[in-house]
Amino acid sequence: MRVAMLGTRGVPARYGGFETCVEEVGRRLARMGHEVTVYCRDGEAGHTPEHLGMRLVRLPALRRKSLETLSHTALSAGHAVRERPDVALVFNAANSPFLPLLRARGIPVATHVDGLEWKRAKWGKLGARYYRTAESLAVRWSDALISDSRGIQNYYADRFGVKSDYIPYGAPVLDTVGADGLAEYGLRAGEYHLMVARFEPENHIDLAVAGYLRSGARHPLVVVGTAPYSGAYTTRVRKLADSGSGVRLVGAVWDQRVLNQLYANALTYVHGHSVGGTNPSLLRAMGAATSVSAFDVGFNREVLGPHGAYFTDAETLAACFDRAEERPQDTLDRGRAQVAELTEHYDWDVVARGYAELAERLCSSGTSSGGGNASRSLVFSDRRAGGVRRWIRNKGVRRR
Domain-by-domain residue ranges, the chain?
A: 2-167, 180-346
Judge whether 2-167 and 180-346 match in fold.
Answer: yes
Beta pairing partners, 177: none
CA distance linking residue 190 with residue 267, whole number of Å:
5
The overall pTM is greater than 0.95: no
CA distance linking residue 269 with residue 277, whole number of Å:
18
Could you say which residues of the chain have pLDDT below 70?
Answer: 15, 45-46, 115, 117-123, 228-230, 366-400
CA distance linking residue 54 with residue 31, whole number of Å:
9
CA distance linking residue 100 with residue 379, whole number of Å:
9
Please give the share of the chain, as a percent, with pLDDT higher than 70: 87
Phi, psi of 310 (to 5 degrees): -125, 150
Which pLDDT score is estimated for 115?
A: 65
Nearest to 27 by CA among 8, 7, 13: 13
Which pLDDT score is estimated for 370?
A: 38
CA distance linking residue 149 with residue 299, whole number of Å:
7
Beta pairing partners, 111: 90, 145
CB-side exposure of 168: number of CA atoms within 13 Å? Answer: 23
For the four alpha carbons of 89, 94, 96 and 101, in that order, the dihedral sign comes to negative
Q: Could you tell me the fold of the domain covering 2-167?
A: Rossmann fold (3.40.50)
CATH of domain 180-346: 3.40.50.2000
Nearest to 262 by CA among 304, 206, 224, 319: 224
Q: From residue 350, how far is each of 188, 353, 354, 363 by CA, in Å?
A: 35, 5, 6, 20
Which pLDDT score is estimated for 366?
A: 63
Which pLDDT score is estimated for 391?
A: 34
Which pLDDT score is estimated for 103?
A: 95
What pairing do the DSSP bridges indicate for beta strands 109-112 and 87-91?
Answer: parallel
Residue 163 · residue 110 · CB < 8 Å:
no
CA distance linking residue 252 with residue 223, whole number of Å:
9
Residue 204 · residue 219 · CB < 8 Å:
no
Q: From residue 208, how far is each of 89, 170, 213, 215, 304 by CA, in Å?
A: 35, 25, 9, 11, 19
Which pLDDT score is estimated for 119?
A: 65
Beta pairing partners, 109: 88
Would residue 220 be called left, alpha or beta, if left means φ above 0 and alpha means ψ between -120 and 50 degrees? beta
Residue 279 · residue 295 · CB < 8 Å:
no
Beta pairing partners, 311: 295
CA distance linking residue 106 with residue 367, whole number of Å:
6
